[in-house]
């Protein structure tokens, strides 16, 4: 890993074809097993799956592909569920849970007509590894040291948490936002292009970005992170929460606005959500899954000796538990997205739900 860090000043060269380069590429990939797992999964997937490369992450002379996986109905009138993982290079478990579900779907599609029928009504798009360069380097930010979740052009309206809320001091410190006035990093530009192309003017779209590293419990966060006041479509999020809790009353997720925990500059999903609404591009709910990694550390404090131990379950049986524990949620989100007409609130029902949501999540706020 150290040798790779030392090479990061070298420009990414597009074509590397010599035998030595291929060997080096293999060596590099041994630090990034998630990429091989994803490519193997795609190679074995049924014909309903398609994949393409939406960009690259460069580490020294190595170009690492950003894969987009699609399955389901691609018609413009279909709703879309977008799953993202690996935004933070240290949070490998986020990529693993997304790939685990893709693997489940690819195997089930070979015999499950119910699933095929469901996917006729919805499109699933997944970007399991948004920051392969950061993952290869075993660091939170991308190869330039930028924290992709602090890199969007949106500033916190209230005082943000020192450092954690985003900083411009140094790419060698965590939560680096990038240089002021620069465009977003290539990984985020690629993600924005996917959102613009696939989520625009759909009847409904929902995204889930999978992270780990904060809290004792698994949490589902929704905007905003840049301000404490509620988001525009709060009624839709509350309706989804009720739907989930009525169907799965013993679930373990805490569903809250991110601003309940901390405010940040540059939050990617705040930015995409506001941009989507500004363009009048349809009903969209962005969610972030924050897997509570502190309990993994409490059960095995030795994990603190390794940087990745702060963010990932390292004991095999715990890893297996995490990989299987989110499948119900992912299946639910796919069903809920496909059948959004049956639960999305409208008119006075939406207003009632919004008021209930404000009492529930913003008890000290007056209506805005
Ligand atoms: Zn994260």
Report the interhelical angle of 234-247 vs 347-361 (nearest 10°). Answer: 80
Distance from the alpha carbon of residue 296 to the mean position of ligand 1, in angstroms? 16
Distance from the alpha carbon of residue 158 to the mean position of ligand 1, in angstroms? 22
Report the interhelical angle of 316-325 vs 327-338 (nearest 10°). Answer: 10
Distance from the alpha carbon of residue 240 to the mean position of ligand 1, in angstroms? 23
User: What is the structure's pLDDT at 11?
Assistant: 43
Distance from the alpha carbon of residue 293 to the mean position of ligand 1, in angstroms? 11
Q: In a 10 Å sphere around its CB, with 0-12 CB exposed, 13-18 middle and 19+ buried, how is residue 289 labelled?
A: buried
Distance from the alpha carbon of residue 334 to the mean position of ligand 1, in angstroms? 23
Per-residue CA distances from 361 to 221, 312, 354, 355 (Å): 12, 29, 10, 10
Distance from the alpha carbon of residue 134 to the mean position of ligand 1, in angstroms? 12
Pairing of strands 254-257, 219-222: parallel
Distance from the alpha carbon of residue 183 to the mean position of ligand 1, in angstroms? 21
Rounded mean pLDDT of 24-42? 84
Q: Report domain 2-361's class.
A: alpha beta
Query: Closest by alpha carbon to 123, among 202, 47, 190?
Result: 202
Tens-digit pLDDT profile for residues 146-162: 999 999 999 898 777 77
Give whichever of 20-34, 105-119, 279-293 has the largest mean pLDDT: 105-119
31: confidence class by pLDDT, cuts 50, 70, 90: confident
Tens-digit pLDDT profile for residues 194-231: 999 999 999 999 999 999 987 778 999 999 999 999 99
Question: Does residue 187 have a pLDDT over 50?
Answer: yes
User: What is the structure's pLDDT at 215?
Assistant: 74
Contact partners, residue 165, CB within 8 Å, separation at least 6? 150, 156, 175, 262, 263, 264, 265
Least confident stretch, 69-73, 171-175, 203-207: 171-175
User: What is the structure's pLDDT at 62?
Assistant: 86
Q: Which residue has the higher pLDDT, 309 or 170?
A: 170
Alpha helices by DSSP H, the chain: 2-6, 19-29, 33-44, 92-108, 113-119, 132-136, 186-199, 234-247, 268-278, 294-299, 316-325, 327-338, 347-361
Distance from the alpha carbon of residue 155 to the mean position of ligand 1, in angstroms? 19
Tens-digit pLDDT profile for residues 83-120: 999 999 999 999 999 999 999 999 999 999 999 999 99
d(CA 164, CA 343): 36
Distance from the alpha carbon of residue 140 to the mean position of ligand 1, in angstroms? 8
User: What is the structure's pLDDT at 64?
Assistant: 94
Distance from the alpha carbon of residue 20 to the mean position of ligand 1, in angstroms? 35
Distance from the alpha carbon of residue 87 to the mean position of ligand 1, in angstroms? 6
Rounded mean pLDDT of 154-179? 87
Question: Does residue 314 have a pLDDT over 60?
Answer: yes
Distance from the alpha carbon of residue 289 to the mean position of ligand 1, in angstroms? 9
Query: Percent of the chain beyond pLDDT 90?
Result: 69
Rounded mean pLDDT of 350-363? 95
Distance from the alpha carbon of residue 92 to the mean position of ligand 1, in angstroms? 10
What integer best gives the mean pLDDT of the chain?
89
133 close to 59: Cβ distance less than 8 angstroms: yes
Contact partners, residue 73, CB within 8 Å, separation at least 6? 119, 120, 121, 122, 123
Distance from the alpha carbon of residue 329 to the mean position of ligand 1, in angstroms? 19
Question: Does residue 363 have a pLDDT over 50?
Answer: yes
Rounded mean pLDDT of 232-237? 95
User: What is the structure's pLDDT at 99?
Assistant: 97
Question: Does residue 45 have a pLDDT over 70?
Answer: yes
Query: Closest by alpha carbon to 322, among 351, 353, 367, 291?
Result: 291
264 close to 160: Cβ distance less than 8 angstroms: yes
User: What is the structure's pLDDT at 328?
Assistant: 95
- Taking phi over 0 as left and psi of -120 to 50 as alpha, with beta for the rest, 178 belongs to left
User: What is the structure's pLDDT at 12?
Assistant: 59
* Cβ-based neighbour number of residue 193 at 10 Å: 13
318: confidence class by pLDDT, cuts 50, 70, 90: confident
Distance from the alpha carbon of residue 349 to the mean position of ligand 1, in angstroms? 35
Report the interhelical angle of 92-108 vs 316-325 (nearest 10°). Answer: 60
Distance from the alpha carbon of residue 212 to the mean position of ligand 1, in angstroms? 6
Domain boundaries, given as residue ranges, for the chain: 2-361
d(CA 86, CA 345): 32
Q: What are phi and psi of 337, to 5 degrees?
A: -65, -45
| Per-residue buried b or exposed e for 47-84, using 16+ beta carbons within 10 Å of the residue's own CB | eebebeebbbbbbbbbbbbbbbbbbbbeeeebbbbbbb
Distance from the alpha carbon of residue 72 to the mean position of ligand 1, in angstroms? 28
Distance from the alpha carbon of residue 358 to the mean position of ligand 1, in angstroms? 27
Distance from the alpha carbon of residue 261 to the mean position of ligand 1, in angstroms? 14
166 close to 177: Cβ distance less than 8 angstroms: yes
């Amino acid at each position: 890993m150290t040798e790779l860090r030392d090479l990061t000043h070298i420009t990414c060269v597009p074509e590397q074809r010599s035998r030595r380069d291929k060997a080096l590429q293999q060596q590099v990939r041994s630090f990034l097993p998630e990429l091989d797992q994803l490519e193997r999964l795609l190679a074995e997937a049924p014909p309903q799956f398609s994949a393409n490369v939406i960009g690259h992450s460069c580490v020294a002379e190595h170009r690492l592909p950003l894969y987009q996986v699609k399955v389901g109905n691609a018609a413009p009138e279909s709703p879309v569920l977008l799953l993202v993982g690996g935004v933070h290079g240290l949070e490998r478990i986020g990529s693993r849970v997304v790939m685990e579900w893709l693997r489940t779907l690819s195997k089930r599609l070979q015999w499950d007509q119910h699933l095929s029928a469901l996917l006729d009504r919805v499109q699933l798009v997944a970007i399991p590894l948004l920051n392969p360069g950061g993952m290869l380097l075993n660091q939170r930010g991308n190869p330039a040291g930028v924290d992709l979740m602090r890199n969007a052009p949106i500033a916190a309206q209230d005082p943000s948490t020192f450092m954690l809320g985003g900083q411009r001091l140094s790419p060698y410190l965590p939560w680096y936002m990038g240089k002021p006035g620069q465009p977003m990093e290539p990984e985020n530009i690629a993600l924005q292009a996917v959102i613009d192309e696939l989520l625009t003017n759909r009847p409904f779209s929902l995204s889930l970005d999978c992270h780990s590293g904060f809290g004792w419990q698994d949490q589902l966060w929704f905007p905003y992170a840049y301000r404490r006041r509620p988001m525009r479509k709060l009624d839709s999020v509350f309706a989804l929460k009720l739907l989930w809790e009525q169907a799965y009353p013993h679930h373990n997720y805490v569903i809250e606005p991110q601003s309940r925990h901390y405010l940040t500059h540059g939050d990617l999903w705040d930015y995409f959500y506001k941009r989507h609404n500004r363009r009048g591009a349809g009903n969209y709910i962005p969610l972030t899954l924050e897997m509570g990694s502190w309990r993994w550390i409490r059960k095995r404090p030795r994990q603190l000796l390794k940087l990745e131990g702060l963010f990932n379950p390292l004991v095999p049986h715990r890893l297996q538990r995490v990989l299987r524990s989110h499948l119900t949620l992912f299946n639910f989100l796919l069903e809920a997205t496909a059948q959004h007409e049956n639960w999305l609130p409208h008119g006075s029902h939406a207003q009632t739900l919004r008021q209930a949501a404000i009492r529930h999540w913003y008890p000290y706020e007056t209506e805005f």
